[in-house]
Amino acid sequence: MTIVDEPRTGSEHGRHHDHNPAADDAARPVGFGRLQRKEDPRFIRGQGNYVDDIVLPGMLHGAILRAPVAHARIVSIDTSEALARPGVRAVITGKDLEPLNLAWIPTLSYDVQSVLVTDKVRFQGQEVAFVIADDRYAARDALESIEVDYEMLPPMIDARRALDPDAPLVRDEMEGRTDNFINDWECGDKAATDAVFANADVVVRQEIVYPRVHPAPMETCGAVADFNPVSGDLTLYETSQAPHAHRTVIAMVAGLPEHKIHIISPDIGGGFGNKVGIYPGYVLAIVGSIVTGKPVKWMEDRSENLMSTSFARDYIMQGEIAATKDGRLLGLRADVLADLGAFNGTAQPTKYPAGFFNLFPGSYTWEAVHGKVTSVYTNKAPGGVAYACSFRVTEASYFVERMIDRLAIELDMDPAELRLKNFIATEQFPYDNKAGFEYDSGQYEMTMRHAMQLAGYEDLRREQAEKRARGELMGIGISFFTEGVGAGPRKHMDILGLGMADGAELRIHPTGKAVVRISVQSQGQAHETTFAQIVSEEIGIPPEDIEVVHGDTDRTPFGLGTYGSRSTPVSGGAVALVTRKVRDKARLIAAAMLETRPEDLEWEKGRWFVKGDPTAGKTIQEIALAAHGTMELPEGVDGNLDAEVTYDPPNLTFSYGAYFCVTDIDKGTGKVTVRRFVAVDDCGTRINPMVIEGQVHGGLTDGVGMALMEIIEFDSDGNCLGGTFMDYLIPTAMEVPDWETGFTVTPSPHHPIGAKGIGESATVGSPAAIVNSVIDALRPLGVTAIDMPCTPSRVWDAMQGRPTAPV
């Protein structure tokens, strides 16, 4: 598939009054297009099946005692009173796990993490003991009866001081370790970048902090473990975005044979990266079931979710940008300090310890770029990849889009004009971004101009000028992002040595209905609908006749799961290819049925027919029946219409978009209101526009959250200040506008159907547009920078000329 020559653009703002094709039997739509979701009938009746809905006979309940302090040695733990309480079956501590070799387990980044503390606590909220009781109330009660004697240690909280010689040592259990350094990573060309900066007309420096935030899906993490001591089978119901990867890692960790482990991820109540990691609670549920011989359920509460599971970001970025006087970009430097918390629990591909921060040059041409990321340990919860970020793409995109605006201020140039002047041109693709990635396709200027037109950019600037004349604070913020999603080519990308490919299996039943089995797991993305549409597009069977099976390791082929917007780029490619394989087989059978040669047949959606004689043909349903029937099949053709593939993508897919945000700031309070948000996305071929729009809306709301209210802060003692929804604020319907979305279509040239990932585009692109808008609103007051979240107090400080507090 090649890039379309003619611009294909559109917008989709507001209600859909069109006829719903799915409800009309006569229409029986096939393939791509707006289609109601197949998952909805169960959800709107309250018939979803989430982990906490699972009840097994004799099931017990677990609860975790967590450390109230950030850094302390454990002197003693007394569980006797808890054990004596009614309904308590067992209390497990780190000492009990040591002989099982389960007190520490591997992280997804070749570090280790503690399951239950054996030596010292390394972050507030860390797991100290596990109680198993008859019901959840009894388990919770028993936590109160466990006596722990802590010897306090000075906490390591400020990442900027983590490499000081006198910094408290977080990981003293690691032999020979004397500091909190984790790793350094570099990309680009330092010498060439230095040379460019030395000769540039204009150089601007800016510190940009992307604070710690949390995915906070509405469903917290949990598991039900059911170990059968007779057969040795472990069934684990789990909130997992990657059930196959979890099974392999659990086999390695627990020493259980992989074929005896069955992981079921039922309906997942949102993930956003939060459900990629393997948490101590999952391991404890398994241990609990082995110890008690009964199924054990563990569901964390909201504070446990916010305080202990995978956070995101925490990048302190020093930026420098070099340009000519007239606004031609020359060079870009990024020097980043990454706070990974107490364990390196990120889930990046092995060769990418800073994820895909390689995308920091953004959507522009540069003479040279250089990026460097240094990661450190602190006494905070581990994690670092989560929250719809496509492996640090969010940080990279936010960085470059803030830097571009900072340069526009310096040059007194319109930020839209500065971007248009420096975009990678359509004919330059595939484009080497000078930091290690080859962008596959893009029509940046077309997309930008479409967004400017939808936003009414010139009118907005006129309105802003009028308001400024009246002393009102109105901002117009722009972000133009490029993200690389769909990890990845397996020779370059793996997690714990597992190549990032995905399998798919397709069976056409004798009656022409189909089942497709996929390795990725939906957390709300509508895989049951969109993957059926991919099969439908390729083979002509209506989506309603195609069952999508996912989230169950015994019923699906191996693959690495859903995160980093990889479902459509990787698993979607697998599904398209497996369907083509079936179609090719159907051609052989159809030729035999029609007593002709396969090369004399032509395909139209749902049917092979004889070239030049459209009346002589066989539908896929007829072929399916014949494949399972009594006719003599061609040599080498099995009696079924099934196939399987594993898809190894040749490259990432590079989705992009142009976002415009209009804000108004209350001069009396510093409160920011997002009045309008125009998002134009290009995710290549569009499978289901309704689902795409939903993905974009959700990501934009995440962006408003991060830009204006969400932050996980710590006080100097290491107390987490964002441990409940009273402190960790998430946008409600009152804080977000009615989104205005548009699209352009630039198919990925290497993806089987030309699709690119869309799940995280808006989360990646929107924060910079909002913050740039806030800064733009505050320009008359001399403000050139502000860090997220732009809360009223921080905006007020900026309005008074005070620096905002570092985060």
Q: Residue from 175, 470, 733, 800 that binds other proteins (CB under 8 A)?
A: 733
Q: How far is the CB of 531 from other proteins (least distance, A)?
A: 15
Q: How far is the CB of 795 from other proteins (least distance, A)?
A: 22
Q: Which two tokens stand for residue 792?
A: 């009223």
Site for other proteins in 112-141 (CB under 8 A): 136-137
Site for other proteins in 623-682 (CB under 8 A): none
| 26 touches other proteins by CB under 8 A | no
Stretch that binds other proteins, among 420-428, 587-595, 666-674, 700-708 (CB under 8 A): 700-708
46 or 165: CB nearest other proteins? 46
11 or 36: CB nearest other proteins? 36
617 close to 591: Cβ distance less than 8 angstroms: no
Radius of gyration of the chain (CA): 27
How many whole angstroms separate alpha carbon 222 and alpha carbon 237? 8
412 or 738: CB nearest other proteins? 738
| 446 touches other proteins by CB under 8 A | no
| 21 touches other proteins by CB under 8 A | no
Q: How far is the CB of 748 from other proteins (least distance, A)?
A: 24
Letters for 292-311 (x = contact with other proteins by CB under 8 A, - = none) are: ---------xxx--------
| 732 touches other proteins by CB under 8 A | yes
Q: How far is the CB of 48 from other proteins (least distance, A)?
A: 5
| 110 touches other proteins by CB under 8 A | no
Torsion of CA 154, 157, 158, 164, to 10 degrees: 40
Q: How many CA atoms lie within 13 A of 4 on its CB side?
A: 13
Stretch that binds other proteins, among 244-252, 536-544, 609-617, 692-700 (CB under 8 A): 692-700
How many whole angstroms separate alpha carbon 583 and alpha carbon 577? 10
How many whole angstroms separate alpha carbon 412 and alpha carbon 263? 57
Angle CA 520–244–230, to nearest 5: 140
Q: Residue from 149, 199, 611, 725 that binds other proteins (CB under 8 A)?
A: 725
Q: Residue from 1, 252, 730, 807 that binds other proteins (CB under 8 A)?
A: 730
Q: Which two tokens stand for residue 308?
A: 């202990």
Stretch that binds other proteins, among 12-20, 280-288, 418-426, 590-598 (CB under 8 A): 12-20
269 or 598: CB nearest other proteins? 269
Torsion of CA 354, 442, 10, 567, to 10 degrees: -40
Q: Residue from 45, 325, 470, 491 that binds other proteins (CB under 8 A)?
A: 45
239 or 441: CB nearest other proteins? 239
Letters for 494-533 (x = contact with other proteins by CB under 8 A, - = none) are: -----------------------------xxxx-------
How many whole angstroms separate alpha carbon 153 and alpha carbon 133? 33
| 220 touches other proteins by CB under 8 A | yes
How many whole angstroms separate alpha carbon 239 and alpha carbon 663? 37
**What H or E segment, with its residue span, contains residue 138?**
helix 136-143
Sequence-separated (6 or more) residues with CB below 8 Å from residue 519: 244, 502, 503, 504, 550, 556, 557, 558, 559, 560, 561, 571, 574
216 or 590: CB nearest other proteins? 216
191 or 726: CB nearest other proteins? 726
Q: How far is the CB of 760 from other proteins (least distance, A)?
A: 13
The helix/strand/coil state of 546 is: strand
Angle CA 408–484–520, to nearest 5: 145
How many whole angstroms separate alpha carbon 250 and alpha carbon 240? 12
**What H or E segment, with its residue span, contains residue 763?**
helix 761-778
Q: Residue from 279, 364, 377, 739 that binds other proteins (CB under 8 A)?
A: 739
Alpha helices in 470-549 (DSSP H): 527-539
| 716 touches other proteins by CB under 8 A | no
50 or 558: CB nearest other proteins? 50
| 50 touches other proteins by CB under 8 A | yes
| 15 touches other proteins by CB under 8 A | yes
Q: What's the first-to-final CA gap in the chain, in angstroms?
A: 46
Q: How far is the CB of 224 from other proteins (least distance, A)?
A: 13
**DSSP conformational letter for 358:** G
The helix/strand/coil state of 314 is: strand
Q: Residue from 111, 693, 710, 776 that binds other proteins (CB under 8 A)?
A: 693
How many whole angstroms separate alpha carbon 65 and alpha carbon 50? 24
Q: Residue from 166, 738, 782, 801 that binds other proteins (CB under 8 A)?
A: 738
Q: Residue from 148, 200, 204, 216 that binds other proteins (CB under 8 A)?
A: 216
691 or 778: CB nearest other proteins? 691
503 or 543: CB nearest other proteins? 543
Q: What share of the chain is helix, strand, coil (3-state, %, to 5)?
A: 30, 25, 45
Q: How far is the CB of 17 from other proteins (least distance, A)?
A: 9
How many whole angstroms separate alpha carbon 526 and alpha carbon 530? 6
- 618-649 burial, b at 16+ Cβ within 10 Å, e below that, comes to bbbbbbbbbbeeeeebeeeeeebbbbebbbbb
| DSSP letters for 380-395 | S--B-S-SS-TTTHHH
Q: How many residues bind other proteins (CB under 8 A)?
A: 61
Stretch that binds other proteins, among 67-75, 84-92, 255-263, 686-694 (CB under 8 A): 686-694
Q: Which of 689, 692, 650 is nearest to 565 (CA)?
A: 692
Stretch that binds other proteins, among 146-154, 478-486, 564-572, 694-702 (CB under 8 A): 694-702
16 or 259: CB nearest other proteins? 16
| 24 touches other proteins by CB under 8 A | no
**What H or E segment, with its residue span, contains residue 40?**
helix 40-43
Q: Which two tokens stand for residue 697?
A: 């809306």
169 or 736: CB nearest other proteins? 736
Tell me whether residue 597 is exposed, middle or buried, using C-beta atoms within 10 angstroms of its C-beta: 0 to 12, 13 to 18, 19 or more.
exposed
6 or 738: CB nearest other proteins? 738
| 701 touches other proteins by CB under 8 A | yes
549 or 730: CB nearest other proteins? 730
Stretch that binds other proteins, among 48-56, 421-429, 531-539, 666-674 (CB under 8 A): 48-56
Torsion of CA 579, 581, 584, 589, to 10 degrees: -90
Letters for 249-288 (x = contact with other proteins by CB under 8 A, - = none) are: ------------------xxxx-x----------------
Q: Residue from 373, 448, 593, 700 that binds other proteins (CB under 8 A)?
A: 700
The helix/strand/coil state of 346 is: coil
Q: Residue from 96, 127, 219, 339 that binds other proteins (CB under 8 A)?
A: 219
| DSSP letters for 159-211 | GGGTTSTTPPPS-TTSTT--S-EEEEEEEE-HHHHHHHHHT-SEEEEEEEEEE
Site for other proteins in 455-474 (CB under 8 A): none
How many whole angstroms separate alpha carbon 106 and alpha carbon 246? 12
Q: Residue from 4, 7, 28, 41 that binds other proteins (CB under 8 A)?
A: 41
Q: How far is the CB of 398 from other proteins (least distance, A)?
A: 19
Residue 588 CA to its chain's centroid (Å)? 41
Where along the sequence are the contacts to other proteins (CB under 8 A)?
14-16, 20, 23, 36-37, 39-48, 50, 52-53, 55, 136-137, 216-220, 267-270, 272, 301-303, 523-526, 690-691, 693-694, 696-702, 724-726, 730, 732-734, 736, 738-739
